Chain A
Amino acid sequence: MKNNIRLYRAKFKLTQDDLSKKLDVSRQTINAIENNKYYPSLELGLKLSQIFECKVDDLFSLD
């Protein structure tokens, strides 16, 4: 699975730290998600799509 979170984060001018605070997770977790070391839960995926005002499909896709 790949994701576009880094792209969307840059688009919304958010740092990993900013995004982690919005999601109530650690900055390292955002980093792990961006580097495909951790696949977030559906709940976190939906929260990300809410923050980036897009569909979950736009953020995550299968290889």
Chain B
Amino acid sequence: MSYLFDHKFKNPSSWVFYLTIPVALYFLFTDQFDNIMKIQVFSLFPSDILVSTTETESIIDNRGFIWIENGILDEILTIVIIVSGILSSFSKEKVEDEMISSIRMKSLVLSLYINYGMLILSNLFIYEMAYFYAMVIHLFTILLFFNLIFNFRLYKHYNS
């Protein structure tokens, strides 16, 4: 049984993935996530247990299972990046043969090693809130690394 998506998803999702990443990074580094698209959201978990920063000041002291005001741009961008990244990474090629599967598997293993290697380095050399940001970024870099490595290897394969 193949868990891959149809080939038609590959190109559109790749465009969305690679265009959304710089947009998300811009909003992350300019610290604008909490100011845009503010709506009432349902918070399951008390945020004061997790972390207390200026960004979360407005929702500190809530006890969970309550409605809070939150900018949802980061949630939207997260979903767009993850869904487009998965579709882009795991859509079939035009001719999805066993060698493509082998290339896909090797690229996935390598991207996982690189991602967790970088996470270990972040763990050793980055501290406090910067480490939190590093962890968040690493959630997406595994898809990014896989995409880049897999597409580079496919490019080499198709040009052999």
A residues in contact (CB < 8 Å) with B: 20, 24-26, 28-29, 31-32, 37-38, 40-41, 43-44
Contact = CB atoms under 8 A, between A and B. Distances in A.
B97 interface: yes
A33 to B, nearest CB: 8
The 9 A-B pairs of least Cβ separation, nearest first, read A25-B97, A29-B99, A26-B95, A38-B99, A29-B97, A28-B160, A41-B98, A28-B157, A26-B97
A25 B98 contact: yes
B3 interface: no
Interface of B: 95, 97-100, 102, 157-158, 160
Contacts of B95: 20, 24-26
Contacts of A24: 95, 97
| Dominant secondary structure at the B interface | helix
Nearest to A29: B99
A28 B158 contact: yes
19 contacts: A24-B95, A24-B97, A25-B95, A25-B97, A25-B99, A26-B95, A26-B99, A26-B158, A28-B157, A28-B160, A29-B97, A29-B98, A29-B99, A32-B99, A38-B99, A38-B102, A40-B98, A41-B98, A43-B98
